[in-house]
Amino acid sequence: GAVVSQHPSRVICKSGTSVKIECRSLDFQATTMFWYRQFPKQSLMLMATSNEGSKATYEQGVEKDKFLINHASLTLSTLTVTSAHPEDSSFYICSAPYHNEQFFGPGTRLTVL
């Protein structure tokens, strides 16, 4: 089956620093990947669509300069949280489509101190 990995699984950083989260499709290629944010006990909120070879498409209300997305290859998308602040602490999840199904990564827990 299709597997999506994320790295790191957990990260703790200081306020003002930047953090990069990787999303990889391990056994298939994905020209599109999706980034979601999940707050505790709440739903997944779609942040942006990552497009290989072109700019990401951001959902309304998501700051492009805060959440930088780069789809570097057909198997890798990265989300960089720039100048992170405590309110950016959350669970970030990526997904990639394969054969008309979305496969999700295990998520990255970001804690900003």
Q: Which residues bind another protein (CB under 8 A)?
A: 4, 32, 34, 36, 41-46, 49, 93, 95, 97, 100-102, 104-107
Question: What's the chain's length in residues?
Answer: 113
Contacts of 8 (CB under 8 A, 6+ apart): 21, 108
43 close to 57: Cβ distance less than 8 angstroms: no
By beta-carbon proximity to another protein, the closer residue of 3 and 76 is 3
Q: How far is the CB of 41 from another protein (least distance, A)?
A: 8
By beta-carbon proximity to another protein, the closer residue of 63 and 101 is 101
Q: How far is the CB of 15 from another protein (least distance, A)?
A: 27
Count Cβ atoms within 10 A of the Cβ of residue 113 and give its class: 0-12 exposed, 13-18 middle, 19 or more buried: exposed
Amino acid at 35: W
Q: How far is the CB of 62 from another protein (least distance, A)?
A: 13
By beta-carbon proximity to another protein, the closer residue of 10 and 66 is 10
